[in-house]
Structure 1
Amino acid sequence: MFEFAQRVRRKLQKRGEELISGVEKWGFKVRLHNRAPSIDILSECLIHKILCCLSFKEATRMSILSKTWLQAWSNLPNLDFTVDYSKCNDMKIVDDTLGRYRDGKIPIEKFELLDDCLIMFLNSFEVLDFPMIDKWLGIVLTNGVKDLTISSYPLFIFAILAVKSVRKLVLKYCILLPVSLSSVVVNCNSLRKLSLSYVRLVDENMLQTLLNSCLLIESFTFECCKGLETMNPQKIKSVSLKFLKIRHCGVIWEIDAPNLVSLKLTWEDIPQIKIVRESRQLKYSRIILECLDSDNVNAAWFCKLRKFLSNSISWSDVWIDSYECNNINIQNLQLDHKDSNPHVDVLNVTIIWKDGESPTFVDALVWSCQPRRLNVYSTRENITFFIDHLMYMKNLSQSTSHESMPQLTQLKDVKAYKFDPRYYKEESWHPVEHKSGELATTNSEKWEWCYFLLDW
């Protein structure tokens, strides 16, 4: 109990000002540890806020502090369960708890039901008790749930959206079952946030119907889902959408969201995305390219990347993970193409490969992105090579004999900064004076962070 109290105190200390506004923090912690009667001066609303920051199991243990805390725990509006469906005790705990909430008509604001064994991920449903889970969802929806998270369960999503209280819906490892168009909720005005992760869509038109039904949705996450293996473009059209995240869903996308504030993409190849209308409110945009197949990272790949970055929006962050060094045929780069220069604020590069210098890789990298800032995470040897080659490109731009490579000689200035791991503060970044090969003289395989400010 003492160790648990210490853990609770650390959590409360971190978020104390939010949770116990108006209560002197130090005195509260002492009373909590000593379990003095004065702990009951806290209102039930405040106790709810404290318990909601803990897991349901930890919140249950806190109920022994006093009768007031027990009462607050018994009608806690946030419930989260991680269940092994093969264990009767796990099922009984959830069933008894929700039965009490049903009988007492206790409001439920947030409900999480996670599968401890990822049954859906293992493609096995034999142990699932569907009628029991259906009953639980019925209680939760009847009691006015606003924030709902479910995993490893086949469900009719439009039946959930028909409940007007649901504002946030998170589905993981679920199957979205098809429904007839006549039963689809055409206007779902309550949902604000929808997240689909590792979800299987039985009907390839379901995503389109779903987005068309959620008229006021503000946040949409779609990652690693199946069921859209088609060449037909998936259209995301929403005036209300502000936050969009798509990860590893390599189909053709058309995005028409004029009020988008944040756009995050993760792909293994150059994405096929058409921005129908660029949002003037877009503050943050990030694309992550995980180059798992190094054979595809060639001159044609960098040309596609430059074209994508030039024809699309201004990108706040571009991330490239390179797992193997390839020699790029510079002559094959479309140096005379008529695309405008890319708009990239920050380019983050992780270099996994260890052997061999590749100046053509650096050339193709900066040519395709032309970032204002370049962050590199790699071995000391690779970072040293980056510094040396970028300085070479800078010096080349100041010479008069670069007619053969005009696009690669636009770099006017380079400033390098190295991270000092001994201090995790803003001032831990220190300027690096260029002395060829200096960083790699000792411990060349040590991994380091370095960033460059590039002036084009």
Structure 2
Amino acid sequence: MADILPECLVQKILSFLPSYNQASKMSILSKTWLQAWSTLPNLKFFLFCWEGWESRTKIVDTIMERYGKGKIPIEKFELSEIFVDSLQLFPMVDKWLLIALQNSVKELVLHFKSYPAPILTILAAKSLRELVLHDCTLMPVSLSCGVVNSNSLRKLSLSNVTLDENMLQTLLNSCPLIVSFIVENCSGLNVLKIKADSLKVLKIIQYCNICNIDAPNLVSLDYKGYEIPELNIARESKIILHCLLSLNTAWFYLQMDHIGSSGGVDVLNLNMLLMDEIIECPTFVDALLWSCHPERLNLISIDIETVTRLIDRLMYMKNSSHSTYCHGWNNQLKEIKAFDGKNQLLQLGSEELAKRITEGEKPYFILDW
């Protein structure tokens, strides 16, 4: 009965198992399952720090050598370690990584503490479409413009990676067709400047002194940091800002001509979970809305008073006949409407709306400027 399923379907089933070792246990079912397991295109290995890790490493090495000699295609290669000292494994990782790249790997995930990832070799792989690096280091590597050009890479994710500003930008320059980029808690980045015309999706969780984003074709930005970035992005971009501690209201005024003159953004997601003190200042709300000029405003908060103050401010802005923040162009709020999660029109009573928002419902506002 186990041989009824075709090999391709068996491989699909095995790919949903958490690790390669667990998939190997299914190989005893039949010859079809054994063959499917021995040629799995997705390889996921974990190396743990406990007794017997040497033998586990030898097993991984044997498997990778078999894939290398048989030139078995690899779609995804994921390698993670939890070692106190993994330095001695770096040569083995280099070997396994080279086999994966030679076997046309499309998605590469490395979670290896302090591993000096051979980024030049990785980017030279013509098949690679997604690269995810955790805890690695790129500092010893020197990239120069024109040395490497990865036209295949579309997604890049760096988490807890050690690199500097020059390395980051040169890395982006080397991937001219990248559409998705994630940078999270990377050490060595005091100034974060991102320039990439091809970027569509950008996620940043980075607490640096200066952040500048120049991505004219961006459609989604999710940012968390101490300073709000200077933006040059597309009008239709969806922006989520989680700004902590040193949020500066003046930033919005500096950005008004930069963002507002291009018409603002279609959707603004405002997370107010850590913004109680900021919302006390009406000029913050004014500056936020004037600068971004959103057509739709989504709110996230658990504090009724905070949401009530913001809604009251919106109503005040609508009812005011003049604005002190015009800067020479028509940005007055003409109309405001509130809708629930089912797109049903809601009354604009601030207390009722605030209650619905803080209770987890998802009302939103449509703003007509």
TM-score, normalised to structure 2, is 0.77
Q: Which one has a bigger Cα radius of gyration?
A: 1
Is 2:227 the partner of 1:264?
A: no
Counterpart amino acid of residue 254 in structure 2 = K
Confirm or deny that 1:343 pairs with 2:264. yes
SS at match of 2:23: helix
Map of 1:2-401 to 2, 5 A cutoff? Answer: 37=1, 39-56=2-19, 57-87=21-51, 88=53, 90-115=56-81, 117=82, 125=85, 128-152=88-112, 153-179=115-141, 185-201=147-163, 205-229=166-190, 234=193, 236=195, 241-249=198-206, 250=208, 251=210, 253=212, 255=214, 260=217, 262-268=219-225, 269-273=227-231, 275=232, 285-293=237-245, 296-297=246-247, 301-308=248-255, 310-312=257-259, 340=261, 343-352=264-273, 358=280, 360=282, 361-378=284-301, 379-397=303-321
Secondary structure at 1:170 match in 2:
strand
Distance 1:252 1:411, change over 3 A: closer
**Contact 1:380–1:443 at 8 Å: present in 2 too?**
no
Once structures 1 and 2 are overlaid, which stretch shifts more, 93-102 or 177-186? 177-186
The CA deviation string for residues 144-167 of structure 1, in whole angstroms up to 9 with x for no partner, is: 323211122222211223344433
Q: Deviations over 1:274-321 (max 9, x none)?
A: x4xx7xxx585244332221xx34xxx334224325414xxxxxxxxx
Counterparts of 2:229 and 2:203 in 1: how far apart (Å)?
A: 10
The runs of 5 or more residues in structure 2 that have no matched partner are: none
| Counterpart-to-counterpart distance in 1, 2:263 and 2:316 | 22
Equivalent AA in structure 1 for residue 68 of structure 2 = R
Q: Deviations over 1:378-417 (max 9, x none)?
A: 23444444444433433334xxxx5878799932222223
CA distance in 2, matches of 1:418, 1:69: 51
Distance 1:191 1:204, change over 3 A: same
How many percent identity over aligned positions? 47
* C-alpha displacement of 1:221: 3.6
Contact 1:146-1:165 at 8 Å conserved across structures: yes
Does the aligned pair in 1 maintain the 2:136–2:161 contact within 8 Å?
yes
Match of residue 423 from structure 1: none
**Aligned AA (1:136):** W
What SS does the aligned partner of 1:449 have?
coil
The CA deviation at 1:343 is: 0.7
Shift of 1:267: 4.2
Q: Please report how far the alpha carbon of residue 234 of structure 1 lies from its aligned counterpart in structure 2 after TM superposition.
A: 4.7
CA contact (8 A) 2:267 2:298 kept: yes
Amino acid at match of 1:390: L
- Distance change (3 Å), C-alpha of 1:355 and 1:308: closer
User: For the residues of structure 1 that align with 2:242 and 2:26, how far apart are their CA atoms?
Assistant: 44
Q: How far apart are 1:68 and its partner, in Å?
A: 1.0
8 A Cα contact 2:119 2:141, kept in partner: no
Distance in 2, Cα, partners of 1:186 & 1:263: 28
- 1:416 matched to 2:338? The reply is yes
Contact kept in structure 2, 1:63 and 1:69, CA below 8 Å: yes
Query: Aligned residue pairs: how many?
Result: 356
Instruction: Report the Cα distance in structure 1 between the residues aligned to 2:24 and 2:285, rounded to whole angstroms.
Output: 56
TM-score for both structures, normalised by structure 1:
0.64
| 1:104 CA drift (Å) | 3.6
The CA distance in 1 between the partners of 2:145 and 2:293, in whole Å, is 51
2:297 and 2:90 map into 1 onto residues whose CA distance is 51
SS in 2 for 1:340: helix
Q: Cα gap change, 1:431/1:236 in structure 2, threshold over 3 Å: closer, same or farther? A: closer
For 2:109, give the aligned amino acid: T
Q: Aligned in 2, Cα 1:176/1:208: closer, same or farther, shift over 3 Å?
A: same
Secondary structure of residue in 2 paired with 1:390: helix
Q: In the TM superposition, what is the alpha-carbon distance from 1:197 to its structure 2 partner?
A: 2.4
Other structure's SS at 2:266 match:
strand
Counterpart amino acid of residue 270 in structure 1 = I
The question of whether the paired residues in 2 share the 8 Å contact of 1:417 and 1:451 is answered with: yes
Q: Secondary structure at the match of 2:240?
A: strand
CA contact (8 A) 2:249 2:287 kept: yes
